[in-house]
Amino acid sequence: MASLTSIATPYRSSTYPSSSQALRVKLTGNTLFSAGVRSPASSSSSSSFLTIRSAATKPDKPAAEVDWRQKRELLLEKRVRSVDVKEALRLQKENNFVILDVRPEAEYKEGHPPGAINVEMYRLIREWTPWDIARRLGFAFFGIFSGTEENPEFIQSVEAKLDKEAKIIVACSSAGTMKPTQNLPEGQQSRSLIAAYVLVLNGYKNVFHLEGGIYTWSKEGLPIESEED
C-alpha cells in the first residue's frame, strides 16, 4: 500500500507528473507491488526507487500554487499591508472594513470576529477523479483523512459578497507574514496571504492582511462569536 500512496504524497515541489511522466519516490525496505507500480531491481541497498505512473494529468497550476516569492513581490507591489488585531477591530468599527475569514467553515463556526464573512480558501477534496483519488491516498499516507484542495470557487464566492472597491482584511488561523526575519528572509506564506494574493490578482484594490490571525485575535480577548449548526 505504501508504494501506491506515494503517488500523491503532498510534497512542496512546484512540479507534478503529467500522464506521460513518472514520479520517482525513494522508499526504505521492501515494497509492495500494486497496479501501475514497478520496482527496479536493487541488490546493493535496502533502499529502492519506485517509478509510479500518474493516474491522470494534474490540472493547470492554480494561483495558490505560485511560488511564494512571486506572491510576496506582488503583494508588496500592490501595497498590501498587514494590520494587527486591535487596528483591524478599529478599522472594522470605524471605517467599514470587512474581515474576510478564509478558514474552513467548521473553524469559522467555532469562533470568528463578529461580522466576519467566511469564504474558504481551501476545502475538503470533493471529486473522485483519478487525480483526486491519488491525492486522497497521499494525505492518508501521512494519517490525514480529510485532505484539502484549493477552493476553485473562492474568487467567485468573494465577488458575490464583496465588490472590487471593498476594504478587506483577510484572516486565517495564525497567519503568515511578509516581514523578513533572520530565519525567514522572505517571510512566511499562509492561507490568508495566499487569499490576499488571489484577491489582488483579480482586481481587488483595498486588501489588508490580519497579522497573527484569529489565534491572536482570540488571545488578545477581542470579541468572538460562534454559530450553532
The closest alpha carbon to 175, from 218, 123, 117, 224, belongs to 218
d(CA 170, CA 218): 16
How far is C-alpha 113 from the geometric centre of its chain's CA atoms?
21
Q: Catalytic residue at 181?
A: no
Check: CB of residue 104 under 8 Å from CB of residue 146: no
User: Which runs of consecutive H residues, i.e. helices, occur in 22-84?
Assistant: 68-77
- In this structure, is the dihedral angle defined by the CA atoms of residues 210, 215, 216 and 217, taken in order, positive or negative? positive
Check: CB of residue 24 under 8 Å from CB of residue 50: yes
Q: Active-site residue among 172, 175, 193, 194?
A: 172
d(CA 175, CA 173): 6
The closest alpha carbon to 149, from 214, 68, 62, 54, belongs to 62
d(CA 145, CA 60): 24
* Positions marked active-site: 172
